[in-house]
Amino acid sequence: LAEWRRVFSQAAGPLSASWQRTPTVFMHGEALVKGRLTLADVAPLVDSGQMPAGCAALSGGSYASRGGSWTSAPLKGPLAEVLPAATVYANNAGMYMPALAELCIAGVETFGWPITCNAYLSAPGLQVSVPPHTDRQDVLVLQTTGRKRWKVYAPPAIEKGLDPLRRGKDGDEFLWDVLGDPLLDVTLMPGDGLYVPLGFPHATTTAFEDASPEPSVHVTLNVDSLIWGLSYRLLWAAAVRQA
Q: Specify the pLDDT at position 173.
A: 79
Q: Specify the pLDDT at position 154.
A: 96
Q: Specify the pLDDT at position 30.
A: 97
DSSP states along 79-99:
HHHHTTTS-EEETTGGGT-HH
Selection from 205, 222, 17 nearest residue 140 by Cα: 222
For the entire predicted model, the pTM comes to: 0.92
> What separation in angstroms does the CA of 28 have from each of 32, 108, 162?
11, 21, 36
Q: Residues 8, 234, 173, 131: what is their CA dihedral angle, to the nearest 10 degrees?
A: 0
By three-state DSSP, how is residue 225 classified?
coil
Q: Specify the pLDDT at position 57.
A: 81
- Return per-residue pLDDT of the chain as tens, 243 residues: 899 999 999 999 999 999 999 999 999 999 999 999 999 999 999 999 999 999 988 765 555 555 667 788 899 999 999 999 899 999 999 999 999 999 999 999 999 999 999 999 999 999 888 889 999 999 999 999 999 999 999 998 998 999 999 998 888 878 778 899 999 999 999 999 999 999 999 999 999 988 778 999 999 999 998 888 887 778 888 888 888
Q: Specify the pLDDT at position 236.
A: 83
User: Which residues, other chains included, contact 167 with Cβ-Cβ below 8 Å and sequence gap of 6+?
Assistant: 132, 133, 134, 156, 174, 201
